[in-house]
Amino acid sequence: MQASLPAQLSYQPYHRLFRQPLKTHHGLWRQRDGILLRLRDLEGRVGYGEIAPIDWFGSESWAEAISWCQAHTGWLDLSELDGIPLAMTATRFGLSCASQDLLQDPGDLRGWDQQPPIPMCGLLGSCRGAFAALESFSDPDQWGAFKLKIGLEDPAIEQEQIRVLLTHLPSGIPVRLDANGGLNPAQLETWMQAEELLQRIEFIEQPLPPDSFEAMLRASQQGGIPLALDESVAGLAQLSQCYERGWRQLVVLKPAISGSVGEWAENKALHALQQVVSAAFETVVGSYHAARLTRLHHLEQRAVGFGLDHWLANDGGNPVDPFRVGLLAARQHFEAVWLALGGAA
């Protein structure tokens, strides 16, 4: 529940191009549309947040988020933020983060910044394009994992591409396979039986569409390569539903579309299941808040999926990575990012 405090809301839409389109089962992603948020109270304190929706993942659309911001720009009471519809998970996350940032004592962050860096997972894209993507990583042995998109070609072709790629990756680094719900049950069985890949594949992410939950649940109980839900658990409400229906393996959670940060502490499934925190191609503002939640809820056990900055244009939106430089250092860039993406001072 938000505190009762008057604050002035400003927002800045942005449209960021991918350096090259990201190919997934959902299609080509060419542009990341989002909204930066700024709250300022009567004492002059400022808090920043970000709305980074992915409507084909289950959040509201960018247009719906903009409509909410247009209707609420100017002075409001922070308690009004509790009234944001539950289905608008990205908007709830962004505004709750901005409110928290407004009230946060920066000194509270120092203890977290003194902890070891959180390991990260780098995105290589499609199996066919993975070699070219790997060249953009100057230090591949410093990453905790790498991620490939699958379900774009025949499994036999992709598996052979992975076998070759593995000979070029550091031997101790696992690989994650993300199908974005693009496999059918027969193809999933083919992947699950790829025993020669078992030692290097950390998990297969969202192998089937969300409406095939029971089939994924059965597959997860048969052994072999572990499975993880992603699109099926786009928000905390969906996470709870999957847990109640029996899911006990991994889940990939994108904070940017999860809902209000206040809901994290109350969610039983969040703390009962193994979590992999993942990015939504947000700016440093959104990734800062994701890093803060990762520290707060002790979700550093597996490499976080935030090695994505090299996919976006160098437009000032991601000057640093909070998971690498720390929270305090990252927060110092918020105003510069606001201005770089077109916001008024």
- Domain containing residue 251: CATH number: 3.20.20.120
335 in a structural domain: no
φ, ψ for residue 144 (rounded to 5)?
A: -80, -20
Residues 297 and 148 both lie in one domain: yes
- pLDDT digits over 192-245, tens only? 988 888 889 999 999 999 999 999 999 999 888 999 999 999 999 999 999 999
Residues 63 and 126 both lie in one domain: no
* pLDDT, position 23: 86
345 in a structural domain: no
CA distance 48 to 180: 30
- pLDDT digits over 51-93, tens only? 999 999 999 999 999 999 999 999 999 999 999 999 999 999 9
The residues assigned a catalytic role are 149, 254
Q: Which residues of the chain have pLDDT under 50?
A: none
344 in a structural domain: no
Cα→Cα distances 158→27, 63, 129, 180, Å: 18, 36, 11, 15
* pLDDT, position 139: 84
pTM greater than 0.85 (yes/no): yes
Instruction: Give the residue from 303, 344, 297 showing the smallest Cα distance to 324.
Output: 303
Residues 97 and 170 both lie in one domain: no
Strands 46-51 and 27-41: antiparallel
Q: Give the residues across from 29 on adjacent strands.
A: 22
75 in a structural domain: yes
CA distance 190 to 77: 54
Yes or no: say if 189 and 216 are a contact pair by the CB < 8 Å rule. Answer: no
Residues 51 and 119 both lie in one domain: no
Residues 88 and 199 both lie in one domain: no
φ, ψ for residue 20 (rounded to 5)?
A: -145, 140
Which of 61, 83, 109 is at the close of a domain? 109
Residues 14 and 163 both lie in one domain: no
* pLDDT, position 343: 66
* pLDDT, position 1: 63
Residues 163 and 259 both lie in one domain: yes
> In terms of residue numbers, what domain contains 37?
6-109
38 in a structural domain: yes
Residues 254 and 161 both lie in one domain: yes
Which of 109, 130, 164 is at the close of a domain? 109
Yes or no: say if 36 and 115 are a contact pair by the CB < 8 Å rule. Answer: no
CA distance 292 to 297: 9
* pLDDT, position 223: 83
Yes or no: say if 332 and 288 are a contact pair by the CB < 8 Å rule. Answer: no
Residues 233 and 285 both lie in one domain: yes
CA distance 239 to 256: 14
* pLDDT, position 135: 87
CA distance 48 to 36: 7
Structural domain count, the chain = 2
CA distance 275 to 241: 15
Residue type, 75: W
Hey, what are 29's tokens? 């992603």
Which of 63, 79, 109 is at the close of a domain? 109
Torsion of CA 217, 182, 282, 56, to 10 degrees: -90
Residues 172 and 61 both lie in one domain: no
Strand order in the sheet with 175-178: 275-277, 250-253, 227-229, 201-205, 175-178, 145-149, 120-126, 304-307
Residues 22 and 96 both lie in one domain: yes
* pLDDT, position 265: 86
Instruction: Give the residue from 193, 175, 176, 197 showing the smallest Cα distance to 185.
Output: 193
Q: Give the residues across from 10 on adjacent strands.
A: 38
* pLDDT, position 345: 56
* pLDDT, position 96: 97
Yes or no: say if 179 and 150 are a contact pair by the CB < 8 Å rule. Answer: yes
Dihedral-angle region of residue 248 (phi above 0 means left; psi in -120 to 50 means alpha; beta otherwise): alpha
Residues 158 and 35 both lie in one domain: no
CATH number of the domain that residue 60 is part of = 3.30.390.10
Residues recorded for the chain? 345
Per-residue DSSP letter, 266: T
Hey, what are 120's tokens? 């990260």
337 in a structural domain: no
190 in a structural domain: yes
338 in a structural domain: no
